[in-house]
Structure 1
Amino acid sequence: MRNNQKSQKPHSVYVVEGEGESAFWTKIGAAWRHEDGKGFNISLTCMPLNGRLVVREPKADAEAGR
């Protein structure tokens, strides 16, 4: 893990299957923004066979407990 990865909260990476309210989201990894802000380092715990990947910003501490 690089120094900048330790100092910032990672984004969450999800595989999403389906659409709208019936979509099923599964967290499969984390992403850290590059220092120049133009890309991400992504670490996945598995490789999705289908669906789409979504990267979301980290939740605020108050939201994380919900």
Structure 2
Amino acid sequence: MKQQPRNKRPSHAVYVVEGEGESAYWTKVGAAWEHDDGDGFNIALTAVPLTGRLVVRKPKAEREGGR
């Protein structure tokens, strides 16, 4: 598998989410790089969650139209 270039910033953050709705607790556990063809991601985790679900999201600044 091809490694991500060190100078390329991740396109998404990876979180483990425990709970539902307003009471959900989000913990960032990694980063994701979108494939050049847009059909997938390479994911690097800094922790491996035992519970909860993994969620991949664009960084908040990008979602709000910022940098």
**TM class by shorter-chain length?**
0.7 to 0.9
CA distance in 2, matches of 1:46, 1:54: 14
- Structure 2 runs not aligned, ≥5 long: none
Q: Which moved more, 1:30-39 or 1:6-15?
A: 6-15
TM-score (normalizing by structure 1): 0.78
**Count of matched residue positions in the alignment of Structure 1 and Structure 2:** 61
Q: How far is the alpha carbon of 1:27 from its aligned partner?
A: 0.3
| Mapping for residues 31-46 of structure 1, pairs under 5 Å | 31-46=32-47
Greater helix share, structure number: 1
What SS does structure 1 have at the residue aligned with 2:7? helix
CA distance in 2 between counterparts of 1:59 and 1:18 reads 20
How big is the alpha-carbon RMSD for the aligned residues of Structure 1 and Structure 2?
2.0
- The 2-side partners of 1:37 and 1:54 are apart by 18
Q: Distance in 2 between matches of 1:46 and 1:58?
A: 19
Identical amino acids, percent of aligned pairs: 66
Distance 1:31 1:9 in 2: 5
Structure 1 portions without partners, runs of 5+: none
